[in-house]
Amino acid sequence: MNNNEIKALVSLLDDEDKEIQIHVEQKIISLGDAIIPFLEEEWENNLNLGVQKRIEDLIHLLQFESLKAKLRQWKEEGQQDLLEGMWLVATYQYPDLSLDKLKRELEQIYYDAWLEFRSNIHPFDQVKILNSIMFSKLKFAANTKNFHSPSNCMLNIVLDSKRGNPISLCVVYMLVANKLKMPVYGVNLPNLFVLTYKTNESQFYINVFSKGIIFSKADIDKYIAQLNLPSSDIFYQPCSTIDIIKRVLRNLIISFEKTSDTDKVQEIKQLLHVISDEPGDLAY
């Protein structure tokens, strides 16, 4: 459709006949997210507040359907890229966010760490170097004041504000550590997300939310015992990339529940459903 045809179509959003409105909306949706720039232009030029609101809703719906399709494709690729997964989650709130922007910002953190990093030193010392860069030089820290804010799940905001929750700080840390060739992986603990440094010879854990403190399997044993939970391998061993994104989405559900934003709660549940295979995956 050309611009004039789109303008004519959008003008019918103000039609008093509800059936015509519905038909027009369905037609616009059928055109896919390629029509979004035209809708944005119409929104700027249209002075009818009712039509503007309908355009806003249509743009959001088109962006949301596009995000679901991209998440589904990301999952089906099999070798899910963590940064791309976090970028997709962030585009729910920031649809114009560039993946390249996130890559550049993480590349700068990596470069800062690489200048001081040595691969032939003890793993503990490698962690201490990365801790120094992340928490002393760059001032990344736990967002304890607004722990349940949705922004803690948005990687672009975490990189800008240098504040995050356990899993988002772990993601930044892990992405940088992996570029440094450190064997660091995510671990799904109850109520806390941590990292593990794991090789064939040794394994220990890193609590990024507490400025990268190193701890042992025995510490996890005590933590699980305090929660009166049975021991499970998932509390000690690396989790998958898709498990990380699922947990980020569950955190988002809780965040929007606390602000009583029921529409967003339902939408994030849909995103979680897209990448979930088992019914239990949907529990949060």
**DSSP secondary structure of 85-99:** HHHHHHTTT-TT--H
84-to-68, 75, 206, 265 alpha-carbon distances in Å: 14, 11, 23, 22
- How far, in Å, CA of 67 to CA of 91, rounded? 8
Q: Answer whether residue 58 shows pLDDT above 80.
A: yes
Residue 121 has what pLDDT? 94
Reported as a single tens digit per residue, the pLDDT across 211-247 is: 999 999 999 999 999 999 999 999 999 999 999 999 9
Output phi, psi for 99, to 5 deg: -65, -35
Q: How confident is the model at residue 37 (pLDDT cuts 50, 70, 90)?
A: confident
Residue 16 has what pLDDT? 67
Contact criterion met (CB below 8 Å) for 193 and 187: yes
Q: Answer whether residue 78 shows pLDDT above 90.
A: no
Q: How confident is the model at residue 282 (pLDDT cuts 50, 70, 90)?
A: very low
Task: Please tell me which residue, 214 or 148, carries the higher pLDDT value.
Answer: 214
- Parallel/antiparallel/unpaired status of strands 163-164 and 141-142: parallel
Task: Please tell me which residue, 202 or 8, carries the higher pLDDT value.
Answer: 202
Residue 32 has what pLDDT? 77
Reported as a single tens digit per residue, the pLDDT across 18-35 is: 777 777 778 888 777 778
pTM, whole model, 2 decimals?
0.88
Burial pattern 206-239, b for ≥16 Cβ within 10 A else e, equals bbbbeebeeeeeeebeebbeeeeeeeeeebbebb
Task: Please tell me which residue, 118 or 49, carries the higher pLDDT value.
Answer: 118
Q: How confident is the model at residue 124 (pLDDT cuts 50, 70, 90)?
A: very high
Task: Please tell me which residue, 12 or 163, carries the higher pLDDT value.
Answer: 163
Residue 131 has what pLDDT? 98
Residue 134 has what pLDDT? 97
Q: Is 207 helix (H, G, I), strand (E, B) or coil?
A: strand
- Amino acid, single-letter form, for residue 228: N
